[in-house]
Amino acid sequence: MKIIQLKNHLFLTLMIAAFFSFSVNAQQSLFGGEQIVSPEIHEDNSVTFRVNAPDAEEVKLAGEWMPSEGWTPGSAAMQKSENGIWSFTTEPLEPELYSYSFIIDGFRTTDPNNPFIVRDVASVMNIFIIGGEQADLYKVNNVPHGTVARRWYDSPSLGKNRRLTIYTPPGYENSAEKYPVLYLLHGAGGDEEAWITLGRTAQIMDNLIAQRKAKPMIVVMPNGNVIQDAAPGEGTDGFYKPQFMVPKTMDGTYEASFPDIIKFLENNYRVKAEKASRAIAGLSMGGFHSLHISRYYHNMFDYVGLFSAAILPNQDVSHEVYENIDGTLKTQMENGYELYWIGMGKTDFLYDSGVQYRQKLDSMGMKYIYRESGGGHVWRNWRVYLSEFAPLLFE
């Protein structure tokens, strides 16, 4: 009996020793090495970035606040310390949501010490927020929060089930109220994830509604790429590299199929199913879609927003949606609408086409509000446009 007890005691001792050995090793794996804080935001809003790369010969920081090099954010050399940690401290930055990455010996990569990332087309970047002013709209504040859902809807026009993102305002689930709807469309290379991640739609709407600057509304963010049923990695095509432009994105197919989305919303959500309670807006390609959907279905929306919008289809595209553009715009104008809102950055590559489009509207006598901002074709502008457009809706 004593021998059995001794064996049991020895087995228990070995098990405890093995557990503590595993625990220590696990903790070393999790917490081992010097702890690096990156990014570190200082009181004056300067920011220090750090990365451990002792064998690297050159490390650069690339941030969207730096002067761009064409379509690519600018970069700055980081300095290496004796312990192999590279660092760079910025000048004080203005309040904003910023993205950045590292370039280590020519290889662009994310910051391993910052788990907060976003995907823009196929590029993955870290993000951080400098609070204050406009940027406080992009933060999660102590206010009532809405709900973000990914839903699948049947699109008979496209012959498939498709995925979209829906924001419902705070209190929707416990209310019998009917709500107006903003259909918010992404740009080329985006999908139903773009506005909710890069655009901070949920945070902006939560904060505007809490401040009573915007009416509670449902925001629908569809996928404008008709060959996809969902964002890359979220649909039946599995995991594949996203592309900037996929086939059939601007050939009229999406515009023609858009009533499938409206039908799904109005059959499954408590909405005010009327022109006065529908708005449509989008950025770049999504602005193009908003322009053509709203004039093709010229009695469907009372509110239209074009954010850095592309205007005309390619000359080799032929579709009923793009026929008689001037005539359908005139009908849209004659039907009446509450708001036609246009935003454009001064250095946007689409600036000149935007000027020509406004000249067309002026010649027709079609009223609109024009907002010109600094900068170019960037999310920094589109978040501002949404935060200015939404308060004007459904008054």
DSSP state of 69: B
| Nearest C-alpha neighbor of 61 from the set 126, 135, 138, 147 | 126
Using the predicted structure, report yes or no on whether residue 98 has a pLDDT greater than 80.
yes
Please state at what angle helix 325-335 crosses helix 285-296, rounded to 10 degrees.
70
Q: How do residues 159-197 score in pLDDT, each as one tens digit?
A: 999 999 999 999 999 999 999 999 999 999 999 999 999
Q: What pLDDT, in 10s, does the model give residues 232-266?
A: 999 999 998 888 889 899 999 999 999 999 999 99
The pLDDT of residue 316 is 87
Question: Do 181 and 393 contact (CB within 8 A), yes or no?
Answer: no
State mean pLDDT over 268-291. 98
Assessment of whether the complete model's pTM goes beyond 0.75: yes
DSSP string, 276-335: GGEEEEEETHHHHHHHHHHHHTTTS-SEEEEES---SPPTT---GGGTTHHHHHHHHHHH
The C-alpha angle with vertex 102 and arms to 101 and 106, in degrees rounded to 5, equals 125
* Sequence ranges of the chain with CATH classification 3.40.50.1820: 137-392
Could you tell me where in the chain the CATH 2.60.40.10 domains are found?
40-131
64-68 mean pLDDT: 88
- At 16, the pLDDT band (50, 70, 90 cuts) reads very low
Q: 40-131: CATH homologous superfamily?
A: Immunoglobulins (2.60.40.10)
> Rounded to whole angstroms, how far apart are CA atoms 258 and 280?
11
pLDDT computed for residue 34 by the predictor: 57
Burial class (CB in 10 A: 0-12, 13-18, 19+), 74: middle
Give the CATH architecture of domain 137-392.
Answer: 3-Layer(aba) Sandwich (3.40)
Of all residues in the chain, what percent carry a pLDDT higher than 90? Answer: 85
The enclosing H or E element of 117 equals strand 117-120
| Model pLDDT, residue 245 | 85
Give me the chain's average pLDDT, please.
Answer: 91
Q: What is the pLDDT of residues 292-351, one digit of tens each?
A: 999 999 999 999 999 999 999 988 899 999 999 999 999 999 999 999 999 999 999 999
